[in-house]
Every structure is written in structure tokens, then in C-alpha cells.
Amino acid sequence: MPRYAGVEAGGTSFSVAISEDPDTSKIIESSNFPTTTPEETLSRVVAWLKDRKFDALGVASFGPVDLDPSSDHYGYITTTPKPGWGFAPLLKAFEHLGVPIGFDTDVNAPAFSEATIGGHGEKVTSCAYITVGTGVGVGIVVGGIPVHGLVHPEAGHLLVPRRQDDLHTTFKGTCPFHGDCVEGLVATGALAARLHIPASDLPKLPDSDPVWEITGHYLAALCVNLVLTVSPSVIVLGGGVMNRECLYDIVRKKTLELLKGYIKSPQLTPEKIDKYIVRSKFGNHAGLVGALELARAALQRK
């Protein structure tokens, strides 16, 4: 039975794990290293991996990353503002391990595992994976394959209309690039800025606070634009902000409201929308499971 290693490269920490076929979500062993310099972090991760046996490796990284195998910078983290990590040759650190390597973003990887082993139905070949936390990340799989192009999906920054009753507030959104793009409207920093409270106080708010209703509205606008663009078989929502359980039903209801019946599909009905916009069954391990699925796919391709 093949064994897989997964690395989730995050801006705060790197997670590593080993799993066995057939279900890469069954993690045998895992560990965690704080993200310091590239040299230090990667040498710790590689040392951990070298002590283990595995047949393929998957790396799911914070971005932006270069996913073009024909590029000189393939496998690099590219223009990140994170000090020390700009154009860091991430993948090079793992090449001498001598196993097939799968590589993608930390949101495309979980989109991939949601499509393959997420349990969303046999006909699922596409998926949008949205994580809402200090940022908004969106990974997309189409036809069973993570979406790569000029770069990779960055749909957390989609431009969406401000809602009529939210237009004339003093809150202008917190995205340093776009102001009130989706991320600038619903990431934790945005919610905190809107309410003039520290982000750490957000969990203390009651479900009845109006901020959840407007947050659900903008997440629904994101879902609507994803439905209209890539028509995913399923949308998986996760991340810290989505620990606010009541958000799921708000997003579902408003997605249907904003679509206004334009897209006809059994999934886009009040009866089935709770099977269409869902949480991940992998919880906090979604990124790692994604990395392990990249490993499985890399071994299969070999």
C-alpha cells in the first residue's frame, strides 16, 4: 500500500503529515513547524520527512506561487509580501527526496480533495473551495483538475456590488488593493474594522448581530459569481469566520436570492442548497488532506 506525505505551507506555520492509501484523509502521523525564514523552516520540514517513508509528496502552499512546469520559477512562492519569502524556491527543497511531487496552492489543493474524496457525490468533477479568515482564499477544480492559468484563482478579491443599505456607511473595505472587494468586506480584519472592535472580539458577538447578515450577503455574492463563471458541482466553505455556524444558512439563502432563478439546476433550490453550499468534512485538516491528495495524484500520474 503506497504512503503519502503532505506539506501544507502556511504563512504562520508549516504542517506535515503521512497517510496511507486509499483514503488520504486518514492521517497516520503529523507535525507542525512555525514559519520563520525559508532556509530554517524548509530544513526542519525536510528533516522530518527524511525520517519517514513515503512514495509521493504533495505540497500545498500559500501564494502566489508559480504553477507552470515550463517556467524558470516553477515551484517558487513568487510576489508574496511576507518578508524573506519573495521568490523563495519552495519546491527545490523537496526535489532530492526522489519521489513524485504534486504542487498547488493551499486552496486549490483542498478544492481538489473535496472533488475527489469530499463525499459530495459521484458526479462531482468540479468544486470551489472558499476559506474565510484573515483573508479570503478560493481554490477551484474544473473537470477534475485544479485551475491554473496566467496564475491561479484569486477569487477572494472578486469585485461585487455593495448592497444598497451598505453603500453610504463610512466603512470602505479593508483590502489594501481593492478596498471593498470580497476580502475587503468579509475577512476578519474587515469585520473588525466595520464594527470598530478588535478581531479577537468577533467570536463574542451574538448570532443576531447584523454583521453576520451582511457578511453572508457578500459571501453569497461571491458564490453567485463562482456559479456563473465555473458552475462548480459543489461549493465548500470553511475558515475561521465560518466557525460562525449560522453563516451557512445565510449564505445559502442569499445565494438563491441573488441568482434570482437564472441558473436552473436541482442543486440551486431551497430543498437542495444545503447539499450544494457545504462545510468540509475534513475540518481544520482540509489543507493537509489536499496536500496528501496532490501526492496521490502525482504517484498515479507517474
Which residues lie near a second copy (CB under 8 A)? 64, 68, 70, 78-79, 123, 125-126, 138, 140, 142-143, 145, 147-155, 157-162, 167, 177-178, 180, 221, 224-233, 258, 260-265, 267-268
CB of 259 to a second copy, least distance (A): 8
How far, CA to CA in Å, does 107 sit from each of 10, 78, 132, 133? 11, 16, 11, 13
Of 249 and 262, the one with the shorter C-beta distance to a second copy is 262
CB of 251 to a second copy, least distance (A): 15
User: What dihedral do alpha carbons 266, 271, 275, 279 form, nearest 10°?
Assistant: 140
Q: Cβ(36)–Cβ(44) under 8 Å?
A: no
Of 34 and 161, the one with the shorter C-beta distance to a second copy is 161
CB of 218 to a second copy, least distance (A): 10
CB of 126 to a second copy, least distance (A): 4
Strand positions, DSSP E, the chain: 3-9, 13-20, 27-34, 56-61, 101-105, 127-132, 136-142, 145-146, 235-238, 277-278
Of 34 and 144, the one with the shorter C-beta distance to a second copy is 144
Of 206 and 270, the one with the shorter C-beta distance to a second copy is 270
Which DSSP letter does residue 299 get?
H
Beta bridge partners of 3: 20
Tell which residue, 291, 296, 299, has the closest CA to residue 8.
291
CB of 226 to a second copy, least distance (A): 7
- C-alpha cell belonging to residue 280: 468540509
Helix (H, G, I), strand (E, B) or coil at 167: coil
CB of 295 to a second copy, least distance (A): 20
* Gap between the Cα atoms of 189 and 187, Å rounded: 5
Q: How many residues does the chain have?
A: 302
Of 50 and 172, the one with the shorter C-beta distance to a second copy is 172
Of 68 and 209, the one with the shorter C-beta distance to a second copy is 68
